[in-house]
Structure 1
Amino acid sequence: MVGQVHHYCSASVFLSFIKNKEIWLTALSQSNDHLEGTWMLRKWLELFDRSKDQDKTLKKKGARFAVETILDMYVALGTCFSEERDLLSQWRGYAADGTGFSISFDKEALTALASNSTETLPLTMSKVYYGHKDNKQSNEVIRILNDAFGEDAEKYKEYPDGIGDRQLAYTREKFKQQKNATRLLFTIKNEAFAEEREWRLFTFESVSKIKGVEFRESRGVLSPFVKFKIPVEAIRGITLGPTNKTPLKTIKNALQIHGITCPVSPSNASYRGF
């Protein structure tokens, strides 16, 4: 059983966290994995190509159209954690080439926060699975996608002008089923990321429904985010990155000033950075 999960971040994000006791849930589809939320969709759609059905191309278009309609209506905002506290690839990718920090949290505390979340920010604490490495979970998501969108694929029609139509009468229950199935796309990733052993705290909801949504600019791109409070009781420790030169005493003083009591330790990774 996983007792703790760890969030890697830059020094500036770490300082903001200890001051404000909050993390930012950011747009998962704008993460460093450009297939975030679509990798499993592609794998599911590829199954249509293997079918002997004469209308397989049209059905594949219908399936894609149906899922992308849901993806266009909602946004996945989340923050990511790793089961690994001191992993070099995490330091390099998410903690400013090792100059940042790893913040350790009690996983059950985060799960409880998600369970008690509100309608204006409905959250789940979800384990991430990795493609063919986790075949059981991947196949289950495929089954759920088939159940939710199979009828759309079957009834999809395309007119001579190229406009598609599913010709379906929707119920609230059907819409909820499709939303829940689409949310699962953000729990399966390419197995190339398996080393991360990721968990994520995230919501899949309409931007207009999420209370407190703001927008930020990064490298010329705008993206939504929402701030989420984390109680200090959920914090279990702080690890300095392998190229972080801040004295341990300074970190402990900063934590004390901001009302946080937890162990502080340096990374064991022998990495000099660039």
Structure 2
Amino acid sequence: MDNNSSDIIYHYCSTDTFMKIIENKTIRLSNIFKMNDPLEINYLLDDLDKKVLDFYKKNSYEFESLDLKDDIEISEEFLSTLISDIKEEIKELEYISYIACFSSSRKKDYLSQWRAYGNDGYGVALGFDNNVLHNIVKQVNEKNLNFIFGITKIGYSPNEKLNFIKDQLIRSIFRSLKNGARNQNYKNGNCSYKNIVLTDALHSISAILINAINYKNKDFKDEDEWRIYLTTFINGIYSESFCDFNEDIICGDYTFKNQRFRNDNNKLISYIDFCFGKTKIIKEIVIGPKSRIDKDDIDLRMFLRNNGFQVENIRLSEIKLNF
């Protein structure tokens, strides 16, 4: 983990959801496009045109020696059209990322989180061991499955977003410009330079989409969020590697349950439950400021024990509310 990490990250939820997590030993990953900030990918791409043109103006000399036919010139107009086409292709991409949201230890007992995610204070906050979660992610990815599983701390700074675009996406687009000039299909006249570049550049889509998960609008900065994410995507390029989760996927001690659907406020939302099995992953339970559960509740202790959990650190929220 990096220096910005938390040893424990907290998942705020209702009491019903808490019970399901304990009984089923699962973390629910829901479709990111049905969350409270569905425009995250657009947020990441909104200034792509400007950044590409700025990069080109500073580095145009690199493209003067490319072996291009007389009717092709890399110019600001050409690049603007290319970026527009890339954005259109992204819109056509069948892509879903599933996420589960947590807050850092600095937000382990935070009023706004209780109100938004902890059933207005009647729920609980489960403290998950971040080191264990990172180890689980590592073990799953060692299986080389056709999806991407990860855990990340969310960035809210516009500068972080722009730096990612500049360092990851833009450079790969300009590599595609160079690759296109060397492509034999272009040299032999079998395909246009623009289409060659576009096809090559679209391989960067995975970087765009996967890393979009790492960023949220600065209006959500107060959440200090961590995410577990699972990403699948498919288009003409990636169709052979699409994973549709029609069946359970077993990864050693862990299982991704088959894709299911639920109704939430008249929205149909797809989700995938990640089963962590017997892994000792929950280190702390914080009981909400309005909850009727006591930290020494014998039924709470029996409920945890009967489901294979031994959580030593159970405490009440320190937030005082006026009723």
TM-score (norm 2): 0.70
Correspondence for 1:229 among 275, 280, 283: 275
Evaluate the alpha carbon distance shift between residue 121 and residue 57 of structure 1 in structure 2; reply closer, same or farther with a 3 A threshold: closer
Whole-angstrom distance in 1 between the partners of 2:89 and 2:124: 41
Evaluate the alpha carbon distance shift between residue 109 and residue 174 of structure 1 in structure 2; reply closer, same or farther with a 3 A threshold: farther
Whole-angstrom distance in 1 between the partners of 2:315 and 2:244: 40
SS at match of 2:148: coil
Structure 1 residue 152: Cα displacement: 7.9
Which residue in 2 is equivalent to 1:130? 156
Q: Structure 1, residues 41-87: CA drift from partner, whole Å, max 9, x if none?
A: 22435646989934675344223223334xx3221001011102111
SS at match of 1:86: coil
SS at match of 2:121: coil
Evaluate the alpha carbon distance shift between residue 43 and residue 30 of structure 1 in structure 2; reply closer, same or farther with a 3 A threshold: farther
Whole-angstrom distance in 1 between the partners of 2:115 and 2:262: 23
Q: Is the counterpart of residue 8 in structure 1 residue 12 in structure 2?
A: yes
Evaluate the alpha carbon distance shift between residue 111 and residue 141 of structure 1 in structure 2; reply closer, same or farther with a 3 A threshold: farther
Q: Percent identity?
A: 22
Which residue in 2 is equivalent to 1:270? 320
Correspondence for 1:183 among 193, 210, 213: 210
Whole-angstrom distance in 2 between the partners of 1:7 and 1:46: 38
Structure 1 residue 209: Cα displacement: 3.3
Which residue in 2 is equivalent to 1:220? 266
Which residue in 1 is equivalent to 2:130? 107
Contact 2:29 2:274 in 1 (8 A): yes
Structure 1 residue 233: Cα displacement: 0.8
Which residue in 1 is equivalent to 2:293? 246
Structure 1 residue 143: Cα displacement: 2.6
Contact 1:66 1:149 in 2 (8 A): no
Q: Structure 1, residues 196-216: CA drift from partner, whole Å, max 9, x if none?
A: 221111111147433411122
Correspondence for 2:164 among 136, 140, 145: 140
Correspondence for 1:86 among 83, 103, 109: 109
Contact 2:122 2:289 in 1 (8 A): yes
Contact 1:45 1:64 in 2 (8 A): no
Structure 1 residue 23: Cα displacement: 1.1
Correspondence for 1:257 among 303, 306, 311: 306
Contact 2:102 2:225 in 1 (8 A): yes
Q: Structure 1, residues 170-229: CA drift from partner, whole Å, max 9, x if none?
A: 87x866543133210111111121122211111111474334111222222222111111
Contact 1:79 1:202 in 2 (8 A): yes
Structure 1 residue 92: Cα displacement: 1.1
SS at match of 1:246: coil
Which residue in 1 is equivalent to 2:190? none
Whole-angstrom distance in 2 between the partners of 1:170 and 1:190: 29
Larger Rg: 2
Whole-angstrom distance in 2 between the partners of 1:126 and 1:177: 20
Instruction: Kindly report the root-mean-square deviation, in angstroms, between the aligned alpha carbons of the 2 structures.
Output: 3.1
Amino acid at match of 1:145: L
Structure 1 residue 12: Cα displacement: 1.0
Which residue in 2 is equivalent to 1:161? none
Whole-angstrom distance in 1 between the partners of 2:23 and 2:303: 9
Structure 1 residue 255: Cα displacement: 1.3
TM-score (norm 1): 0.81
Whole-angstrom distance in 2 between the partners of 1:62 and 1:11: 47
Correspondence for 1:209 among 221, 225, 244: 244
Greater shift in the superposed pair: 41-50 or 190-199:
41-50
Contact 2:288 2:317 in 1 (8 A): yes
Evaluate the alpha carbon distance shift between residue 144 and residue 261 of structure 1 in structure 2; reply closer, same or farther with a 3 A threshold: same
SS at match of 2:99: strand
SS at match of 2:46: helix
Whole-angstrom distance in 1 between the partners of 2:21 and 2:50: 42
Contact 2:8 2:130 in 1 (8 A): yes
- The gaps in structure 2 that reach 5 residues or longer are 58-75, 181-193, 234-241, 250-257
The total of aligned residue pairs comes to: 259
Which residue in 2 is equivalent to 1:62? 85
Which residue in 2 is equivalent to 1:41? 45
Contact 1:23 1:227 in 2 (8 A): yes
